[in-house]
Amino acid sequence: MSIYWNERIRNVEPYVPGEQPKEEGLIKLNTNENPYPPSPRALEAMRAALSGDMRLYPDPDAERLRGAVAAYYGVDPAEVFVGNGSDEVLALAFLAFFDRDKPVRFPDVTYSFYPVYANMFGVPYQLVELDSEFRLAADSFDGGQGGIVLANPNAPTGICVGLEQIDAWLAKHRDAVFVLDEAYVDFGGETAVPLVRKHPHLLVVQTLSKSRSLAGLRVGFAIGHRDLIEGLNRAKHSFNSYTLDRVALAGAEAALNDRDYFEQTRSRVIATRERTAAELRARGFRLTDSKANFLFASHPEYEADKLFRQLREKRVLVRYFAKPKIDGYLRISVGTDDQMDAFLAALDDIMRR
Amino acid sequence: MSIYWNERIRNVEPYVPGEQPKEEGLIKLNTNENPYPPSPRALEAMRAALSGDMRLYPDPDAERLRGAVAAYYGVDPAEVFVGNGSDEVLALAFLAFFDRDKPVRFPDVTYSFYPVYANMFGVPYQLVELDSEFRLAADSFDGGQGGIVLANPNAPTGICVGLEQIDAWLAKHRDAVFVLDEAYVDFGGETAVPLVRKHPHLLVVQTLSKSRSLAGLRVGFAIGHRDLIEGLNRAKHSFNSYTLDRVALAGAEAALNDRDYFEQTRSRVIATRERTAAELRARGFRLTDSKANFLFASHPEYEADKLFRQLREKRVLVRYFAKPKIDGYLRISVGTDDQMDAFLAALDDIMRR
């Protein structure tokens, strides 16, 4: 605490990122990174960007990258915004679209950065209660609001809401922006991008950190009506005009263009997830129906926090949240088959005691 | 304009970055980029970072890079913050330290992003009038305030205030944060970093975009009391926890460690600046005493906006600001000797007509 902090900074409870361990040799299944390296074409494009031209500013409008996103999704580049990871895109959305006089709604169990953004920018929020199966009801967002933020698939549950339900909510709640955070959609969800032309208040947010194996590059994007994109651009150019460096612009563009590699690696992650889920069920775990690159599992006879610590001792790092409703669960990122075998072996060791 | 924009976004007047021309073959002297490539060691370190590990998140605390800044300046890593360009660092400082009830002060002629940040985050501001020579008076910041923001050297004038004066202002105005933006300090100014231990309200902000030839990498940093750094960290972790990608972290660290290359290139820029200033004076231009990597010049017989357009026709791009007090000036970034010769030749062509 300092006398020089303003009220906003004194009161905010900052986000706590998952542990990025400095030690070597850990099996790291705690921050939903992709176990496969980025596309070789993306690495090649990044290498090519590393010339003397690094002395020059990057394109502040990221035209080529926005073009690649637009081509991938069949939208117009004016309907695409790119930012420094989807976290920054989400922050700018809170900054541009939500007000201090009307509460934004999001589930009580979801990505823990949403309430942080809200507190940071003075936006009130209401938590929508998920049922005991972590599901939303059709009337979940009824009642006036200043916006909706929904992770689909949700984190840390991995549960997906169908597009029909999303469409129905969008039709019902037209008075404020609906931010759909699709960080994990490529692992089995269905993107709502096709609904963007129908609903001018829908902003779909995605990232290259997970399904494109580029967590280390910091690139995310949003797709929505051009007026929403213009709003995000106004926020960006009032904060930091050059958020993506030359390497990130080049690598992200190439990654989006390498569809074969993307399809291969995401299929492998999905296959490993399903195999690991079956193995966990065979060991008595209860799992949500995760469509993300992680599993969300609890065991009726083993305490999650204890399992977390015991796995850590065996050099397997998963994620445990000491929070109401989810403190009985572990979130396990999907690694390679070998990594998941090692995780299961460590678990067997622990459960055999 | 959209019904979905909040009041903040409707009312803000975003920053307009300098033109980043798509066409080839221009002599680009408009955005103060360094004419020399980045350190070969920095390029090598960035290449080495381009491995399969790009699938992993970067270190959110940037420990190694903060260590390099700390070592360079002889401070503690806890006194160092790093961000996505100094623009982001400045934005987070506005977000963390300035209030809606007390005005921040900065000169009426300075970096045009300051009023944008203020408007964006609801911070009132007062402009301190520079005299006809673009100089501040000793009593410039007298009267209560919620903070001071000062670019030193100033932009776009290049004029530097001495450390004694900075020290005196700091001693006089202890009740709020004093942000000293030293983006251009390496080209002839004197850094105020040694004053940081004496003044817990001093935040010195620098960038690797100019003197380290890394505008394309987006890295800036701040040095100040550890409580101020903690405040910036709280703001960052309430906005975007991973602002620097793995390539940027590696490249920036190596650039800071390559002191020889840094000394060589900045000396060359300074020498070219002085030579070009003399050439311009010989052609009747009036110049400020710029300690930055640009010149700020007016001519009693030629209109600046017209010169700007005529130079553009001759494929030389400089910067012109259609703003009170400075609309008679051109800001000319210092390029290589060859580029400056081409600029002077173009000018001679225009002035000979």
Q: How far apart are CA B202 and CA B229, in angstroms?
A: 11
Residue A190 has pLDDT above 90, yes or no: yes
Where is average pLDDT lowest: B18-32, B158-172, B244-258? B18-32
Which residues, in sequence order, are bridge partners of residue A149? A179
User: B319: Cβ–Cβ under 8 A, 6 or more apart, which residues?
Assistant: B18, B29, B30, B31, B156, B308, B330, B331, B332, B333
How far off is chain B from A335, nearest CA to CA, in Å? 12
Q: What is the ipTM of this complex?
A: 0.96
Q: What is the pLDDT of residue B21?
A: 84
State phi, psi for B183 to the nearest 5 degrees.
Answer: -55, -35
Both structure tokens of A246: 């030359």
Question: Closest by alpha carbon to B193, among B159, B166, B169?
Answer: B166
pLDDT band at B25 (very low <50, low <70, confident <90, very high): confident
B299 and B285 in contact (C-beta within 8 Å)?
yes
Residue with tokens 């010989």: B282
Which residues of A are less than 8 Å from B225 in CB distance? 2
Q: What is the pLDDT of residue A24?
A: 83
Q: How far apart are CA B39 and CA B296, in angstroms?
A: 28
Residue A144 has pLDDT above 80, yes or no: no
Q: Which of B15, B56, B215 sits opposite A55 (nearest CB)?
A: B215
Taking residues B185-196, what's their average pLDDT? 98
CB contact under 8 A, B17 and A47: no
Which residues of A are less than 8 Å from B177 in CB distance? 4
B180 and B7 in contact (C-beta within 8 Å)?
no
pTM of the entire structure?
0.97
* CA-based radius of gyration for chain A: 20
A156 cis-preceded (ω within 30 degrees of 0): yes
A340 and A327 in contact (C-beta within 8 Å)?
no
Taking residues B307-327, what's their average pLDDT? 96
Q: How far apart are CA B276 and CA B340, in angstroms?
A: 7
The answer for A315, left when phi > 0, alpha when psi is -120 to 50, beta otherwise, is left
Q: What is the pLDDT of residue B4?
A: 94
A85-116 pLDDT, tens digit per residue, is 999 999 999 999 999 999 999 999 999 999 99
Which residues of A are less than 8 Å from B183 in CB distance? none
pLDDT band at B352 (very low <50, low <70, confident <90, very high): confident
Q: Is A181 strand, coil or helix?
A: strand
User: B23: Cβ–Cβ under 8 A, 6 or more apart, which residues?
Assistant: none
What mean pLDDT, rounded, does chain B reach? 96
- pLDDT more than 70, % of chain A: 100
CB contact under 8 A, A96 and B8: yes
Q: What is the pLDDT of residue A114?
A: 98
Q: Which of A12, A84, A233 sits opposite B243 (nearest CB)?
A: A84
How far off is chain B from A201, nearest CA to CA, in Å? 7
List C-alpha distances in Å: A216 to A183, A303, B242, B245. Answer: 15, 33, 9, 5
Q: What is the pLDDT of residue A103?
A: 95
Which residues of B are less than 8 Å from A233 in CB distance? 14
Q: What is the pLDDT of residue A65?
A: 98
CB contact under 8 A, A239 and B56: no
Taking residues B332-336, what's their average pLDDT? 98
Question: Closest by alpha carbon to A296, among A139, A110, A66, A70?
Answer: A110
Residue A264 has pLDDT above 80, yes or no: yes
pLDDT band at B286 (very low <50, low <70, confident <90, very high): very high
Residue A227 has pLDDT above 90, yes or no: yes
What mean pLDDT, rounded, does chain A reach? 96
List C-alpha distances in Å: A149 to A87, A166, B6, B119. Answer: 13, 12, 16, 26
A221 and A93 in contact (C-beta within 8 Å)?
no
Q: How far apart are CA B204 and CA B151, in angstroms?
A: 10
Q: Is B178 strand, coil or helix?
A: strand
B122-167 pLDDT, tens digit per residue, is 999 999 999 999 999 999 999 878 999 999 999 999 999 999 999 9
Q: What is the pLDDT of residue B24?
A: 83
Which residues, in sequence order, are bridge partners of residue A257? none
* CA-based radius of gyration for chain B: 20
AA identity, residue B79: E
Other CB atoms within 10 Å distance of the CB of residue B168: 12
Which residues of A are less than 8 Å from B227 in CB distance? 1-2, 4-5
Residue A23 has pLDDT above 90, yes or no: no
Pairing mode, strands B202-207 and B220-224: antiparallel
B38 cis-preceded (ω within 30 degrees of 0): no
Q: What is the pLDDT of residue B299?
A: 98
CB contact under 8 A, A15 and B238: yes
Which residues, in sequence order, are bridge partners of residue B223? B80, B204
Q: What is the pLDDT of residue B145?
A: 80
Domains of chain A: 24-36+260-352 (3.90.1150.10), 40-257 (3.40.640.10)
Q: Which of B35, B227, B238 sits opposite A4 (nearest CB)?
A: B227
For testing contact with chain A, the best of B44, B207, B218 (most A CBs within 10 A):
B218
Q: What is the pLDDT of residue A251?
A: 98
Q: What is the pLDDT of residue B168?
A: 97
Residue B49 has pLDDT above 90, yes or no: yes
Residue A25 has pLDDT above 90, yes or no: no
Residue with tokens 């803000």: B12
What residue spans of B182-258 are helical by DSSP H?
Answer: 226-236, 246-257
Which residues, in sequence order, are bridge partners of residue A333? A294
